[in-house]
Structure formats: structure tokens, C-alpha cells
């Protein structure tokens, strides 16, 4: 085991305290998952229509977005918020996802689950995906978030942040979720849908999200935001002023954290292994006072072309592992940092 000193030049930034009225709240870095603010982040609560983020993920990952869906008679069972599609209507799965995320269509959710194998199969997929993402305190019983008929979806703000982080890694999800307005024409109707996420219209850094409300769950909100090279996710439960709370959370993140290059793939030097390299740069959000709390170690565990990994720690806690490779065809000079 060899220790490597990491030299960072950090510019001081202002730090201020933060308090929000939400029962549960979290702010995370989209890229690394670092938690920047937390309040009751592991308390399980009903999540209302933020459920539809997972519904959209399952639909998108089905690979059938451009399939044409013929709406069946069971759509008449849908109630609450909707896009008001009708039996016999022809609409693509992609358009249903637009209606799901922009207008919170419960009928869109019903049509999606029906097309992709029916209720039981679809809900099973939702729960399997939740486990894959690492949502340990989440359980789905329906695809829309309604909780009046005995079916209830539970999660935490932490788990929902993980879900949004996962979803945002998908191009189609980001494209649909960030859309402010879209027009759709089917064989039976013409629609003009405006996104219900008001943050997209009132906060210039907002990039997407999903609203939710039921009488039992109260207000739930999941959003994302980007400023310069910082990508953040905020989640709140039970907050009457959630849009302003999310703005407050984002301003806290943008004003108090900066993205730093911790591992530079072009400047890696490991003693005795001049042909060692990493494939990617690694960035991490840091705040004032953390410049002397980052350190790295190389853990050697040679196997084929893998030398081991670099462990990045903040305050003694590992936050990242970057795999180190051996270039067997190494035959040219490289620039190295003083590791």
C-alpha cells in the first residue's frame, strides 16, 4: 500500500447556515452523489406523483418509446390528474411519457403499465429497479402515486434523490423532463401540454423535476438544477412553499461549493509504475475549509491490465475509487504531477 499526497489549490468561498421548512429535505451533487444538505433524509413517507419518475424510467428503458400504443377501455378507470386520452386512441409510448412527466397524467401511467405487461409485471419492474439503484427504503404498489385505494408508494428524500440522479443519466429522460411545452396530435385529439413544474419557469438554472400532491402525502417535489459546471438535485416532502425552498437549497449549493479536479488523468504518477494511468478525470464538490481534508491512496492489487485503484477520502471517509490501469504498450513520455 502506498500513500500519495494530493495537492489542491482551493479558492475560499463563503459558507452560511441553512434552514428549510420541509419535513424532509436533501440536496445532492448529481455527479458524485455527495450530500450537501440533509434533513430527516431516511424517514419513509408517501411520495405521491413523484412516483412517476420511476414509471418514466421503466418506460424509457423498455426500448419501445417509438411504439404506437392503442388505448384500451380500462383507461376509463383512471381518475385525478390526467391527459384525458380515450379508448381507441393511437399515441406513442414517448408521447405518453411526456404526458406522464409534464402533466402528471394518471391515465398516461395506466396506459404505460398496460402496454408494458400489465399492472403486476410493471410494479415488479419498478421495485426491482429501485433495488438496483440502491433505494433501500422504497416500495411501490402503483405507477401513479395515488394513495386513496389501499395502494401506497413509500420512499425517502434520499432514495428519491438517488432515483433522480439515475434518471438524469438517461438522455431521453432529461430531454422529456426538461421540456416546458409540447404539442401532440393523435388520431382522436390534439394536445398542448405545459409542464406543471413551475421551477422550470421561475428559476433560470432549473433543468427538470416532478411534482406531487395527495391529501395523505401532502406536497412532494423532486427537481434538478445546473449552474456553470455544478449539477444539483433537491428533494422535499411536506413543504407548502417547496418551489422557494428548492431555490434556497440550490443557491446554498451554488454559493458554497465549487467543483474541483481531484484526479487528473493526464498527471498521474505512481512510483515504480510509469505506465500506469486512469481513464477519466475525477471532480468533487468542495467547500471552504476542506482543502486540507482530501487525501488519496493507491491500493495495489494487480490483475491482468489493472494495477489497483486510487482511493479518494474526505475527512477520512472514502468518497470515490478510481481504477488504475497498466498500459502495456507504453512507449512515450508523459507529463506527471507531484503525487
Active site residues: 49, 52, 104
What is the rounded distance in angstroms from the CA atom of residue 153 to the CA atom of residue 144?
Answer: 9
DSSP one-letter string for 86-145:
-TT-EEEHHHHHHHHHHH--HHHHHHHHHHTT-HHHHHHHHHHHHHHHT-TT-B-S-SS-
Evaluated on CA atoms 58, 26, 179, 231, the torsion sign reads negative
Torsion of CA 167, 163, 123, 220, to 10 degrees: -110
What is the rounded distance in angstroms from the CA atom of residue 160 to the CA atom of residue 178?
Answer: 18
Strand bridging mode 24-29 / 35-39 = antiparallel
Give the 3-state DSSP-derived string for 263-307, with helices as H, strands as E and coil as C. Answer: ECCCCCCECCECCEECCCCEEEEECCCCCCCEEEEEEEEEECCEE
- H/E element, 322: strand 317-326
Amino acid at each position: 500500500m502506498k500513500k500519495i499526497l494530493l495537492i489542491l489549490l482551493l479558492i475560499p468561498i463563503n459558507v452560511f447556515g441553512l434552514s428549510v421548512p420541509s419535513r424532509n429535505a436533501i440536496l445532492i451533487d448529481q455527479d458524485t452523489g455527495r450530500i450537501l444538505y440533509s434533513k430527516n433524509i431516511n424517514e419513509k413517507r408517501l411520495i405521491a406523483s413523484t412516483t412517476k419518475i420511476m414509471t418514466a424510467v421503466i418506460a424509457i428503458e423498455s426500448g419501445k418509446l417509438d411504439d404506437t400504443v392503442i388505448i384500451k377501455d380500462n383507461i376509463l378507470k383512471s381518475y385525478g390528474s390526467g391527459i384525458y386520452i380515450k379508448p381507441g386512441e393511437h399515441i406513442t409510448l414517448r408521447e405518453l411519457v411526456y404526458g406522464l412527466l409534464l402533466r402528471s397524467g394518471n391515465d398516461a401511467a395506466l396506459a404505460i403499465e398496460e402496454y408494458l405487461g400489465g399492472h403486476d409485471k410493471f410494479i415488479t419492474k419498478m421495485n426491482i429497479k429501485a433495488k438496483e439503484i440502491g433505494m433501500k427504503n422504497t416500495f411501490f404498489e402503483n405507477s401513479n402515486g395515488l394513495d386513496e385505494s389501499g395502494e401506497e408508494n413509500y420512499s425517502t428524500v434520499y432514495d428519491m434523490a438517488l432515483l433522480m440522479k439515475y434518471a438524469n443519466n438517461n438522455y431521453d429522460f432529461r430531454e422529456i423532463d426538461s421540456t416546458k411545452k409540447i404539442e401532440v396530435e393523435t388520431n382522436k385529439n390534439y394536445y398542448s401540454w405545459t409542464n406543471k413544474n413551475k421551477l422550470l419557469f421561475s428559476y433560470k438554472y432549473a433543468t427538470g423535476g416532478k411534482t406531487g400532491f395527495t391529501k395523505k402525502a401532502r406536497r412532494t417535489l423532486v427537481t434538478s438544477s445546473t449552474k456553470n459546471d455544478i449539477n444539483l438535485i433537491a428533494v422535499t416532502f411536506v413543504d407548502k412553499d417547496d418551489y422557494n425552498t428548492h431555490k434556497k437549497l440550490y443557491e446554498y449549493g451554488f454559493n458554497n461549493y465549487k467543483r474541483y479536479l481531484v484526479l487528473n488523468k493526464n498527471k498521474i504518477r505512481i512510483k515504480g509504475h510509469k505506465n500506469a494511468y486512469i481513464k477519466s478525470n475525477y471532480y468533487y464538490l468542495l467547500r471552504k475549509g476542506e482543502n486540507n481534508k482530501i487525501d488519496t491512496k493507491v491500493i495495489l492489487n494487480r490483475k491482468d491490465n489493472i494495477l489497483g485503484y486510487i482511493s479518494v477520502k474526505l475527512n477520512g471517509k472514502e468518497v470515490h475509487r478510481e481504477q488504475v490501469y497498466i498500459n502495456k504498450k507504453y512507449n512515450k513520455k508523459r507529463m506527471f504531477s507531484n503525487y
